[in-house]
Amino acid sequence: MKLLLFGKGGQVGWELQRSLSVLGAVTALTRRDADFARPAALATIVRAIDPDVIVNAVAYNAVDLAEREVELCTAVNAQAPRVLANEAAALDAWLVHYSTDQVFNGSACLPYTEHAATGPLSVYGHSKLEGENHVRASGCKHLIFRTSWVHSPRRDNFALRLLKMAAEREAIDMAADQFATPTGADLLADVTAHALHACLSNASLGATYHAVAAGEASRLDYARFVLDWARDHGVPTRASSETLRAVTSTEFPSAARRPLNGRLSPDKLCATFGIALPPWRDGVKRMLAEAHLA
């Protein structure tokens, strides 16, 4: 079994190198090997490797900057996946692709299911939805995982940025009206390998799934949890969960609009693949512990 992984330096890509290794030989590429800003060149790379599975962990994730870099964002998040999907279809290979809660507008009261109507608010959200649609339209065997608030100890993320900020100042404003689920890149990679393994013997399982840890949090809940963890583990901070100020998202003007409700229901994923997802707090604890290992 040959697996071709794009984006090995990213949060999810790095973890996938380990998780996918149990399924076969993984060729893992970086931006230097394959630049998604030039989608047409990807076809030659795929054909040279002739994989059984293509895994796309590449994304243009600069949500605010995307409002100005529309062309680049669209090339990476929509046009490149289209090329990969067409190549996968031609090779009869699987394509694993990742997407986001930001394909929704966040106005629903409940967690979104896979069948809920999409309605992205930003250039990033539009580009990710377009990427998904290209994958589905290509006719290739595919798994699309929508996820939210991804974290890993290896790259900048909300929790690690918060700890830096909390070391410098006492009062920090945090949105209490924006909800999603912090999800570990390690969890996503393990879920991917598990689901892919099942799909390899039952192609009818290929579909779009919501893949997040169990539970939900506001930005404020998430920040409180991180600062309580810091207090309990002797990580020095000036701010604490008590000095966080609850505000609304409108207090943080940003170039891109984000959904207030980014909650994704993982019920279909759990039922289809027999997965029990760990609570989001466990994943954040693991990430913080690893980030603070000497």
Ligand X SMILES: NC(=O)c1ccc[n+]([C@@H]2O[C@H](COP(=O)([O-])OP(=O)(O)OC[C@H]3O[C@@H](n4cnc5c(N)ncnc54)[C@H](OP(=O)(O)O)[C@@H]3O)[C@@H](O)[C@H]2O)c1
Shortest spacing between CB 185 and ligand X, in angstroms: 6
Shortest spacing between CB 171 and ligand X, in angstroms: 25
Closest by CA position to 19, among listed 266, 194, 213: 194
Inter-helix orientation angle 158-168/219-232, to 10°: 60
Q: Give yes or no for a contact between 179 and 100, defined as CB atoms under 8 angstroms apart.
A: no
| Active site positions, annotated | 124
Strands of 42-197, DSSP E: 53-56, 94-100, 141-147, 150-151, 172-175, 179-180, 183-184
The closest residue (CB) to ligand X is 10
Q: Give yes or no for a contact between 16 and 65, defined as CB atoms under 8 angstroms apart.
A: no
Shortest spacing between CB 154 and ligand X, in angstroms: 8
Nearer to ligand X, 51 or 184 (CB): 184
Question: CA–CA separation, 14 vs 11, rounded Å?
Answer: 6
Shortest spacing between CB 166 and ligand X, in angstroms: 20
Interacting residues toward ligand X by CB under 6 A: 7, 9-13, 30-31, 34-37, 57-61, 76, 98, 100, 128, 147-150, 155, 185
Nearer to ligand X, 34 or 199 (CB): 34
Nearer to ligand X, 69 or 173 (CB): 69
Nearer to ligand X, 45 or 244 (CB): 45
